Amino acid sequence: MGITRRSFLKLTGAAFATSVMYEFTGQSQAMAADASQEWKLVDVTETSTICCYCSGGCGTICSARDGELINVEGDPDHPINRGGLCSKGSSQFGVNSIYDDVTGERMINPNRVQKPMVRRAGATDWEEISWEQAFDEIAKRIKETRDANYIGEADGVTVNRCEAIASFGAAALDNEEGYALQKLCRALGMTYIEHQARI
């Protein structure tokens, strides 16, 4: 039997209508399974942010329920990553929380460093200090080191440099932070300015 254009359209139209009816009458297994599950992201507040790990700047969506972070995933609307995250970015949730190996209970990551830490010369343990103390101690050491090692002239040439302090930037620095850090380093006369990506 030959199939005309009209009979072909009739047949495909009937097949499509049957398929749609099947979905809407709840006969589809996929729809039945979905309907019985509680969605993980129901009643959450979504906040878009940027991945904390590197200056790639991938967009991330943080979902919180009752003020508690419950999920972190790539932002499909973000122009840089379009929803994708690398292995580091995919593990961002672990910065906040981990799951107990035995009970499976979620808990705030106990390894998360939330305060400045210092290991004094000769000490083996790290000591927790306040931000104010950390800023004061860093500023004091920079001033002392720069004053003691500043070189104004070398071989009859004005150089205005300090070779006793180095800066080691991390991938987490974005454009603006890198710019501000360069300004500070150059103003102090520093010449040893490095970045982990070059090592």
Which positions lie near ligand SF4, rule CB under 6 A? 51, 53-54, 56-58, 81, 85-86, 88-89
Q: Which is nearer to ligand SF4, 89 or 189 (CB)?
A: 89
Q: How far is the CB of 86 from ligand SF4 (least distance, A)?
A: 3
Q: Give the nearest distance from C-beta 170 to ligand SF4 in angstroms.
A: 12
Cβ atoms of 57 and 172 closer than 8 Å: no
Shortest approach of ligand SF4 to residue 51 CB, angstroms?
Answer: 3
> In the complex with ligand SF4, which residue's Cβ is closer, 87 or 114?
87
Shortest distance (Å) from residue 90 CB to ligand SF4: 7
CA distance 75 to 33: 26
For 68, phi then psi, to 5°, come to -115, 130
- CB 81, min distance to ligand SF4, A: 6
Q: How far apart are CA 146 and CA 160, in angstroms?
A: 11
Give strand pairing partners of 46. Answer: 63
Question: To the nearest whole angstrom, how small is the minimum distance from the Cβ of residue 118 to ligand SF4?
Answer: 27
Question: Distances in Å between the alpha carbon of 127 and those of 24, 108, 123, 124?
Answer: 63, 21, 9, 10
In the complex, residue closest to ligand SF4 by CB: 89
Nearer to ligand SF4, 47 or 130 (CB): 47
